[in-house]
Amino acid sequence: MIDTIRELAKKTDEKILMVVLDGVGGLPLELGGDTELASAKTPNLDALARTSQLGAVELVAAGITPGSGPGHLSLFGYDPLRFVVGRGALSAVGIGVKLSAGDVAVRGNFATLMDGRIIEDRRAGRPSDAKNAEIVATLRGTIQTINGIPVEIYTESEHRFVVVFRAQGTPLGANLSDVDPQETGVAPLVAAGHDEASTPTAALVNAFVAQAEVALKGEPQVNGVLFRGYSDVPHFPSFQDIYQLRAACIASYPMYKGLASLVGMDVLDVQGEEDALQGKVDALKTHWAEYDFFYFHVKKTDSTGEDGDFAAKVKKIELFDALLPQLLALEPDVICIVGDHSTPSKLSTHSWHPVPLLIRSQYGRRDPAVRYTEDEALNGSLGLRRGTDVMPLLMANALKLQKYGA
Amino acid sequence: MIDTIRELAKKTDEKILMVVLDGVGGLPLELGGDTELASAKTPNLDALARTSQLGAVELVAAGITPGSGPGHLSLFGYDPLRFVVGRGALSAVGIGVKLSAGDVAVRGNFATLMDGRIIEDRRAGRPSDAKNAEIVATLRGTIQTINGIPVEIYTESEHRFVVVFRAQGTPLGANLSDVDPQETGVAPLVAAGHDEASTPTAALVNAFVAQAEVALKGEPQVNGVLFRGYSDVPHFPSFQDIYQLRAACIASYPMYKGLASLVGMDVLDVQGEEDALQGKVDALKTHWAEYDFFYFHVKKTDSTGEDGDFAAKVKKIELFDALLPQLLALEPDVICIVGDHSTPSKLSTHSWHPVPLLIRSQYGRRDPAVRYTEDEALNGSLGLRRGTDVMPLLMANALKLQKYGA
């Protein structure tokens, strides 16, 4: 599909604003009740819905709960079953580390080793993030390069950290076996390269393991490292190229900025702490003239769902609603409001349920929707669809797709 | 998709009950009227529908009328366009004959041959099942082994019979040409193996044809055999392995037990004659603790549709409705009610129309349905879907699928 869209896409002056309310889809606490969206007081969204087209979107496939990566890739038009971001790369992206061609990112766990290098705990007792940062500082003090390859070490969270090997000329391969045996009572495995380009990477990994154990000898609990999931830089066709769009990302958290950057969007500076909603709106206003596609990310609708806090999620939806008039005042030719997955407070985690999709342009048919809710979405004129349908629909509504065939 | 599901599936204590009402979808006798489901008085299904999610399911694809095999495979999550059970194997499965690795099952027609072995009737005047059994007995009397290979002969119905060649050590190939020329006025063809393993099978088939003609020389009408459709044992990835489920089949008829067994379900004993509904419920109660997935098959909704008996089909639906409280009393975490295809009395045969799907779990959104009917299904929150979506949705609703990607 992406190749067809690329052939049909054309530059126009129309502007598209895609608002992703992270994890916005929900569930009623009791069967038959109201979801978070249905409970929220959203006069501005309601008014918008009355002249919009609604639909329901499955990001990956029926029954599949999307992670943030696959959810967003789907919204950007990349089939998440085909375009896969490796664990190491996603971790790097998630903490804001840029990868270049030839680099390898590796996901690591701190572990507790007993005498004879036998693994006692694969997660080193789940250290605090602060302890993790302290250990990372120790390792940075002793490991800067291995075999002439610069090595970067980053805290992810708890027992998780990320190592990036920076290729010098020759690209490093990422096709090698794990150090993590995924069980306790045995020693860490020795990594082996599965192809020529990955043999030097395996040597780097094995040297890192040995040097880290020396550096962490004095530590009672965090005294070993395990590696699982090696990735080179995922090379996706460029968003700007496929859609002929000057595209910008407005987000606060590294994961979302990283994903947008991965597909080739410009990542704009956002002022403010945490979700920084007003800072995002300000960035949008500042750069409105420069781009014709904006991906505008709102995080807290997801975080409150993950916390299992129904009332707080309702509040975050209402906060966004209060902000909406500022977005509409910019008069985007096409505005889309959608989620990258559902995060029902009832489940305190992502879920498989479809997310409501709203598209407003001058070219919509009559639609029964009077609110932006899950119920209305399922009744909407856009039907139940895959997430990869969203970008083609936005492009069409912006009159940016030529006719297919004569 | 099956590989993705396999990666994401995890064991939990939740129990899933999938009720397949065979051929349950119907049609109104007059345009605009009620279907069999809509005509039936179903207080228990109605009550269940009020707290369930409904949708409509196409088992194979738009406009395609599924046989029982493809319909069930789709419900079990196997794309029926990709996972094909050969004619011979399906016939064997349908009459309850177990195949082992290396065996070949062949579908045969009795035919009428004129002088010079010219085919006069490819169906031998459609003999009765009793006549078929008599002919099979004659053949069994003269053909027990060919070239040291045990040969089994079974009545299917009318002019159809099944032959199983039991491999002795070396597997038999099933890649050979037909004996049936699919026209009259010509002689039966000589089977030829298309590969090394199938050459001995072709010799068996040609010897069978010759020996059968000798044995049936005295018969005026049923005096020849034609073969079409050779199958070795279909080897599908195991249902229990894909879904991490201990899965049991509760059915009365050989075809359904055979299909369930083919994908690796345990087939439970059911006491009672014919559809044996109460026997099935008893089996379900007896084994409730041992499994976490039950496929529960109800046959008569299809049989009455095939008979073109609208009122009788309505009755069979009402019979199931009366039984439903016993199923619900077991408190399955997820209950699903669905069909393997439609069998409208108006058509007296399977049809392409979507079947209504009902899923009840604690994680459903509000759904407008107040009955389990075709109308309500099309309005339901699950939308119109492929049959292969059913298992992922059941797994998700049972919280048995991990998140896809981070």
Mean local confidence (pLDDT), B376-382? 93
Q: What pLDDT score does B234 carry?
A: 84
Residue A273: pLDDT band with limits 50, 70, 90: confident
Residue B263: pLDDT band with limits 50, 70, 90: very high
Q: What pLDDT score does B158 carry?
A: 87
Cβ neighbours of B213 (radius 10 Å): 16
Residue A92: pLDDT band with limits 50, 70, 90: confident
Q: What share of chain B is helix, strand, coil (3-state, %, to 5)?
A: 35, 20, 45
Q: Which residue, among A322, A315, A333, has the nearest Cα to A394 in the 3D structure?
A: A333
Mean local confidence (pLDDT), B287-314? 96
Chain B nearest C-alpha distance from A380 (Å): 11
Q: How far apart are the C-alpha atoms of A294 and B376, rounded to whole Å?
A: 39
Please list, residue by residue across B295-315, b when 16 or more beta carbons sit within 10 angstroms of its beta carbon and e when fewer do: bbbbbbbbbbbbeebbebbbe
Chain B nearest C-alpha distance from A124 (Å): 22
Q: What pLDDT score does A188 carry?
A: 97
pLDDT tops 90 at residue B3: yes
Residue B94: pLDDT band with limits 50, 70, 90: confident
Mean local confidence (pLDDT), B243-250? 97
Range scoring the smallest mean pLDDT among B15-19, B256-260, B320-324: B256-260
Beta strands in B86-157 (DSSP E): 104-114, 118-121, 145-146, 149-157
- Alpha-helix runs per DSSP H in A155-253: 199-215, 239-243
Mean local confidence (pLDDT), A249-268? 91
Q: How far apart are the C-alpha atoms of A37 and A73, rounded to whole Å?
A: 24
CB B111 within 8 A of CB B121: yes
Name which of A72, A343, A352 to mutate to probe chain B: the one with the most chain B Cβ atoms within 10 A of its Cβ: A352
Q: What pLDDT score does A229 carry?
A: 84
List pLDDT tens digits, range A313-367: 999 999 999 999 999 999 999 999 999 999 999 999 999 999 999 999 999 999 9
Mean local confidence (pLDDT), B166-189? 95
CB A188 within 8 A of CB A226: yes
CB A276 within 8 A of CB A270: yes
Name which of B74, B366, B400 to mutate to probe chain A: the one with the most chain A Cβ atoms within 10 A of its Cβ: B366
Percent of chain B with pLDDT over 70: 100
Burial class (CB in 10 A: 0-12, 13-18, 19+), B400: buried
pLDDT tops 90 at residue A254: no
Q: What pLDDT score does A66 carry?
A: 97
List pLDDT tens digits, range A36-86: 999 999 999 999 999 999 999 999 999 999 999 999 999 999 999 999 888
Q: How far apart are the C-alpha atoms of B281 and B326, rounded to whole Å?
A: 7
Q: What pLDDT score does B399 carry?
A: 97
Interface A-B, measured as beta-carbon pairs within 8 A, has a size of 92
Q: Please, what is the average pLDDT of chain B?
A: 95
Classify domain B2-83+237-397 at the CATH topology level.
Alkaline Phosphatase, subunit A (3.40.720)
Residue A353 to residue B365, Cβ atoms within 8 A: yes
More confident residue, A274 or A322: A322
Residue B406 to residue A66, Cβ atoms within 8 A: no
pLDDT tops 90 at residue B405: no
Q: What pLDDT score does A253 carry?
A: 87
Domain-wise residue ranges, chain B: 2-83+237-397, 90-231
Residue A258: pLDDT band with limits 50, 70, 90: confident
pLDDT tops 80 at residue B95: yes
Regarding beta strands A224-231 and A104-113, do their DSSP bridges make them parallel or antiparallel, or are they unpaired? Answer: antiparallel
Q: What pLDDT score does A234 carry?
A: 84
Which positions in chain B have a beta carbon within 8 angstroms of at least one beta carbon in chain A?
1, 4, 8, 50-51, 362-366, 381, 383-385, 389, 391-397, 401-406
pLDDT tops 90 at residue A1: no
- Could you name the CATH architecture of A2-83+236-397? 3-Layer(aba) Sandwich (3.40)
Residue B365 to residue A375, Cβ atoms within 8 A: yes
Q: What pLDDT score does A255 carry?
A: 86
Q: What pLDDT score does A301 carry?
A: 96
pLDDT tops 90 at residue A96: no
pLDDT tops 80 at residue B406: no
Which residues in chain A have Cβ-Cβ distances shorter than 8 Å to B406?
Answer: 67-69, 87, 90-91, 94
Mean local confidence (pLDDT), B366-383? 94
Mean local confidence (pLDDT), A174-184? 93
Q: Is the ipTM of this complex over 0.85?
A: yes
Which residues in chain A have Cβ-Cβ distances shorter than 8 Å to B366?
Answer: 28, 32-35, 374-375
Length of chain A: 406
Percent of chain B with pLDDT over 90: 89
